[in-house]
Amino acid sequence: MRKRSGAIIELDGKIALIKRVRNNHEYYVIPGGGIEEGETPEDAAIREVKEELGIDIEIEKLLTTLTFNNKLQYYFRANYIKGEFGTGDGEEFLQTNIDRGTYTPILVEKDNLRLYDIRPLEILDIIYD
């Protein structure tokens, strides 16, 4: 089973998300990605957030693990340290592969999260807890 790690980051009352448009479907995911061999879930979340959002974070704590799309997913609460939001330069932003769709970093008011198609949906209960 593949493993993924993501970080829930709150900036000024807003939650960082990645807006995905793929096959004409728009949905939103928590920033993160695959855990590489020899990497801890925490290290993967830190690396992926830097690649996707352009910011440095520190892990506060593990909030939950979920299985979604046949991937074991770790979700951490993380704190912003420094960097300019939206300046990520990961491969998903550099490649224009129509099969992968688009990736756009956004900030969403925490109170409005339920208005978005966030995947996996179960993560919303964790964010609001």
Q: Please give the pLDDT value at position 96.
A: 61
CATH code, domain with 89: 3.90.79.10
- Whether 98 has a pLDDT exceeding 70, the answer reads no
Q: What is the mean pLDDT of the chain?
A: 93
**% of the chain exceeding 90 in pLDDT:** 84
- Whether 38 has a pLDDT exceeding 90, the answer reads yes
State which residues form the domain around 27. Answer: 2-128
In whole angstroms, give the CA distance from residue 108 to residue 106: 7
Q: 6-18: per-residue pLDDT in tens?
A: 999 999 999 999 9
Q: 59-92: per-residue pLDDT in tens?
A: 999 999 999 989 999 999 999 999 999 999 887 7
In whole angstroms, give the CA distance from residue 47 to residue 56: 8
In whole angstroms, give the CA distance from residue 91 to residue 100: 11
34 vs 99: which has the higher pLDDT: 34
Number of domains in the chain: 1
Q: Please give the pLDDT value at position 1.
A: 82
